[in-house]
Structure 1
Amino acid sequence: MLPFHLAFHYLLYSLRSVKLHGVHSPFIFDLNNQVIRHDGHFAAYDTVESLRNELLQDSRELQVTDFGAGPKAGTKKTRQVREIAKTSAKPAKYGQLLFRIVNHFQPKVIFDLGTSLGITTCYQAEACKKAAVYTFEGCPNIAKVAQENFAKLGLKQVQTVIGNLDETLALQIEKVDKLDYVFFDGNHRYEPTMRYFKQCMEKHHEGSVFVIDDLYWSPEMKRAWEEIKKHPKVLQTVDLFYVGLVFFRTTQPKEDFTLYY
């Protein structure tokens, strides 16, 4: 069951969302039809979900440092791998959505801000084997398990950047010419989210795709989403409740869409 604040926002989202027939932008119409609502099956789904099932049975204990949001940020505690897999990984529905987005746009450079055990990273990397994938994880012990998972799936193009995202992101941005695709799942507070967004904007281009995770996780994330939509270089956004898509296409009018998913 959803927490009350999420349930309330989901009700509002359901009331304002539209289905395919209500979309008049050709770009968003095609995206909705071919990517968001696509109901076909890819072999990568089975590969990654098999990995998830293994992790859900993994009783290894890790000393974990939390760099995320909330009162426990910065603290250390022991957690089992299976607990992390159960609570931190994106559900299959959204991992597979990210797979389809990457598969559709075929970005050359991918930034994945928030590795955890690497399940979501694997979905995105499986979708574009030729991409350079940089995934960011604060905790070295969690990163080690993620790297094992990348090796298990043969995802040699994934590079794990370990350390506090407040320090590692800017350094890595300097090393790339442009950012084609960014998944923001590194911190669920307003200030860090906006800072990471603005840093990544330095290397965005018209064809870039930014995906913002957990839009309504907290009042701070909702505030960040509203501010991102108002950014002068952001021209199209799609609210899918749990994730938001951001585009910069100057050939399309500035519009915000809320689509049922």
Structure 2
Amino acid sequence: MAVRIITDSGIDLPGEVDPRVTVVPLGITFGTTTYADGVDLTNDRFYELLIESDELPKTSQATPFSYQQIFEGVRAAGDEAVVVTLSSKLSGTYQSAVTAAADYPEVRVVDGKNVTIGQSLLVLYALRLLDEGRSAAEVADELTAAADRVCLLALLDTLEYLKRGGRIPKSVGTIGELLSIKPVVGVEDGEVVMLGKARGSKNGRNQLHQQVEKYGIDFTMPVLLGYTGLSQKLLRKYLEDNRAIWEGKVAEEDLPIASVGATIGTHVGPNAIALAFFRTN
């Protein structure tokens, strides 16, 4: 009996997705056109549309029916599955999975309490546990216990998309743009929170570095880096400026980097950089 990992396109993983992982696409709507995230909408094309569009796209959760179809395949194969969803406080996708799983005792659902590369860390950890021969029940229990240790931090290049999405008042966003304010955000208890603000990119990178040092990185667990938009340039600059974090622990060229997709990119815009790790503090 095999154990499968099922997740949603709230995750962002570098490279090819492990064949043991099934990704349920969320919907991304620009105007009258709805795309299946990661299926008929690549990250590069998403950011091209985002920059061109006068209005923010709308995102829609995965449906119970989309999960049921996958669960039927799990049952037919005689397998088990662990579902890792993006935070229940950010999307109804978790509830869709729970609703669908009610008729499938071979399926266990875990609230990832995170999104993008933070959610991805739990998927990578789940694969590690499967490599160790753990059962579906053991994997689900371990992920539930580990979710609160995942730390996702991000430095945004602009307040424009938070303003356009109504996440901050327009007046705050306008003043912030004039002053070149770079916000540092994170995920706490499944919700996105503002951790600080800095004037200018260099000060923003310094503040991000301070947050990383505050929480501490457990290098025995998976670590992921991410960027929004079409270029890794700002992320590479951050790594260059803060080389001391990684030196002696992991080679910079071995740090996995993921392109952050539509689920979070819609709200933060291009040129943000992010780090996800299991905290030590």
TM-score by length of 2: 0.32
More strand by share: 2
Which structure is higher in RCO with an 8 Å CA cutoff and minimum separation 6? 2
Higher percent of residues as helix: 1
Query: Could you say which structure has the larger radius of gyration?
Result: 2
